[in-house]
Amino acid sequence: MFRKKDFVLIGFIVVIAAVSALFTMFVQRNAGTTVCITIDGVFYGAYSLSEDQSISIDGEFGHNRLVIEDGSAYMADADCPDKYCMDYKPVSKGGETIICLPHKLVVEVTGTREAQQPDVIVP
């Protein structure tokens, strides 16, 4: 059913996919500089990862407290019922996120300060 050339083609495709995945994980994931916070798709604020601080996030859906220290951010407190957002590991690299679904809160690390506010939000 399969010939030798089929296995060579499948192996070539697997190698290309693995190289692409490794490139994405290690090369494109640069250290983040800014934490961008949105609530229900609306920009809430941007904060530097280089400055240690505690950010109280009060929205219409609830309260969260984000702590930034030593170049990373983590959710220290939340009044949502499941508190899954507090289980996330600290985020510090571009593209990493912390999400609190009950509060419709997204905390995303961006690589540059210019990328902090989106141009358009599509519902």
pLDDT over 70, % of the chain = 86
52 contacts 31 by C-beta, under 8 angstroms: no
81-119 confidence digits (pLDDT tens)? 999 999 999 998 888 999 999 999 999 998 754 444 455
Distance CA 84, CA 8 (A): 44
Q: What is the mean pLDDT of residues 5-9?
A: 92
Backbone angles phi, psi at 120, to 5 degrees: -140, 140
Tell me which residue range forms the domain holding 20: 1-30
Q: Are residues 56 and 70 in the same domain?
A: yes
90: which 2 tokens? 């600290």
How many domains does one find in the chain?
2
Instruction: Let me know if residue 21 belongs to a domain.
Output: yes
pTM for the whole thing? 0.67
Q: Are residues 49 and 101 in the same domain?
A: yes
Neighbour tally for 41: CB within 10 Å: 11
CA atoms in the 13 A half-sphere facing the CB of 119 = 1
